[in-house]
Chains A and B, each alone.
Chain A
Amino acid sequence: MGYRSDEELLEQARGCVDATVQKELLGQLFGRYESQVTLWCFRLTGDRSSAADLVQDIFVRAYESLHSFRGDAKFSTWLYTITRNHCLNDVRRRLARWVSTTEPLSEDTPDEDRFDLRLEWSDELRQMRKMLNETLDETERLVMTLHYFEEMPLEAVSRLLGLRNASGAKAYIVSARRKLKTAVARWRGWQMARKK
């Protein structure tokens, strides 16, 4: 039989009445991402045993949530979202940095309720977005996102991105902040001049 896409495999499994065949199909489907999930967990935790626990949890969760997978997305992205959210929740739990009043990320419907943004979209914020996009290079953007937005520890960011320089992600943070500082100063100067 020829190669089947993830979505085709899942669709076939869903419509299958023979339990054995169905198991085989699902096994194939998840087996395709086994190494990716394992690597991601290991890089994030940096610890074999925690990673092993995480991998197991993620596959169970993914299996339990299969019903929520819709055809309008890629299976790999869906699995990635579960993996990411599960790992981040775990990292945050372990770092005890998670504020108790904040809900953990939803894992079953990872991207559904992200728009609950209570911050004002001020000029400043808009400008900062623009600066992040325009003044930083790709690695700096990734490092900033993973560290500031996803709240990953710097060591985890370094492992995840495979940064081999001496100080890892920290060097990128320093460089990015310097660039941003310059850009902000320039923008403020331009604003002051405009007001005058």
Chain B
Amino acid sequence: MMPDRDLIRAALQAGPDCPPLQTLAYQMGLGSDTLERRAAEEHVKSCVHCSTQLAISCKFESGAARPEEDESVRWIAAQMRSTGILNNAGRTRNLTPDGWRRVGKPSLLAAALAVATPDRRGESQTTTTRGHTRGAERSPALGAAACGRTSWRPQGSTGRFPMDGSGRCCAICSHCDRSRPHHPVSRQNRNDVGASSGPGAQPARLRNDAAVVCYRGGSVR
């Protein structure tokens, strides 16, 4: 006989008839008169695994910050906001319908995402980006993803972000000249990046092909 924990865990696993969550969620979103939807509903009703997985994914999608989380979420957003600015934009390739795999370089994500534009639905739903209306400023998390520096860590530091709230990059950074202190990104640079998000705007002006803005907004070279 299996121990309790293992038995419960096993019972909560997907059964042989369980479709993948993505398929199930898609089927549940179909019109109520479709066979697929009805079959999915029947399955969910009788399956503890699928019903809970679906419920958890719904919680994710409808997630809104609780009052006690607000401050932390804003803090994270601020960290993200100060992170991701363009780099290596000159090397950005166009994405093609069949060429998605080729663009799997985080640095390209920088170019792709730092120019995020306002999205009315997102704006109404998000807490973190409330009030931000431009490009990377508006999408801090995307800015962070856009940074393209996920592979490096500030040397001698346990985390990727300097947590001192200084808005400066770490003193020791594998991307930067170690002998030189880092500086917060200049207003001019921020404006350059922000300008890339407007209608018909040009990509951010980069001073050279190398990283222009360091991890947390300290300018590098």
Q: Does A154 contact B (CB under 8 A)?
A: no
The answer to whether B104 has its CB under 8 Å from any CB of chain A is yes
Say if the beta carbon of B176 comes within 8 Å of chain A.
no
Give bound CA distance, A22 to B16, whole Å. Answer: 40
Q: Give Cα distance in the complex from A33 to B144, angstroms.
A: 14
Asked if residues A35 and B112 are in contact (CB atoms below 8 Å), the reply is no
Contact partner of B59 (CB less than 8 A), chosen from A14, A62, A67, A160, is: A160
- Tell me whether A55 and B60 are in contact in the complex, defined as CB-CB below 8 angstroms, given that A15-B97, A133-B48 are known contacts: no
Q: Which residue of A lies closest to B122 (CB)?
A: A32
Q: Is the interface of A mostly helix, strand, loop or mixed?
A: helix
B89 to chain A, nearest CB (A): 10
How far apart sit A177 and B8, CA to CA, in the bound complex (Å)? 10
CB-based contact B159/A53 at 8 Å: yes
Q: Are A132 and B138 also in contact (CB < 8 A) when A73-B23, A83-B60 are?
A: no
Q: Closest chain A residue to B126 by CB distance?
A: A35
- Of the four ranges (under 10, 10 to 19, 20 to 34, 35 or more), the interface on chain A belongs to 35 or more
Tell me if B32 counts as interface (CB < 8 A to partner A): no
- Are the C-beta atoms of B113 and A38 separated by less than 8 Å? no
Number of A-B contacts (CB under 8 A): 269
Contact of A49 among B26, B63, B112, B161 (CB under 8 A): B161
Question: Across the two chains, which residue of chain B brings its CB closest to A162?
Answer: B66
Q: Does A8 contact B (CB under 8 A)?
A: no
Q: Who on chain B is nearest to A143 by CB?
A: B52
Does B155 have its Cβ within 8 Å of any Cβ on chain A? no
Are B150 and A67 in contact (CB-based, < 8 A)? no
Question: B-side interface residues toward A, CB under 8 Å?
Answer: 1, 4-5, 7-16, 18, 20-23, 25-26, 29, 46-49, 51-53, 55-57, 59-61, 63-66, 69, 72-73, 75-77, 79-80, 83, 92-95, 97, 100-101, 104, 106, 109, 111-117, 119-122, 125-129, 135, 138-142, 144-145, 147-148, 150, 159-161, 163, 197, 201, 203
User: Can you list 28 A-B contacts with CB-CB less than 8 angstroms, sorted by A residue number?
Assistant: A13-B95, A19-B93, A20-B115, A24-B197, A27-B115, A31-B116, A31-B139, A34-B126, A34-B141, A38-B76, A39-B64, A49-B159, A52-B76, A55-B141, A56-B144, A60-B106, A64-B109, A76-B61, A77-B22, A77-B26, A80-B60, A112-B20, A115-B14, A117-B13, A119-B10, A128-B8, A129-B48, A149-B13
Q: A residues bordering B, Cβ < 8 Å?
A: 3, 13-20, 22-24, 26-28, 30-43, 48-49, 51-53, 55-60, 62-64, 66-67, 72-74, 76-78, 80-81, 83-84, 110-112, 114-115, 117, 119, 121, 124-125, 128-129, 132-133, 138, 141-142, 144-146, 148-149, 160-162, 177, 180
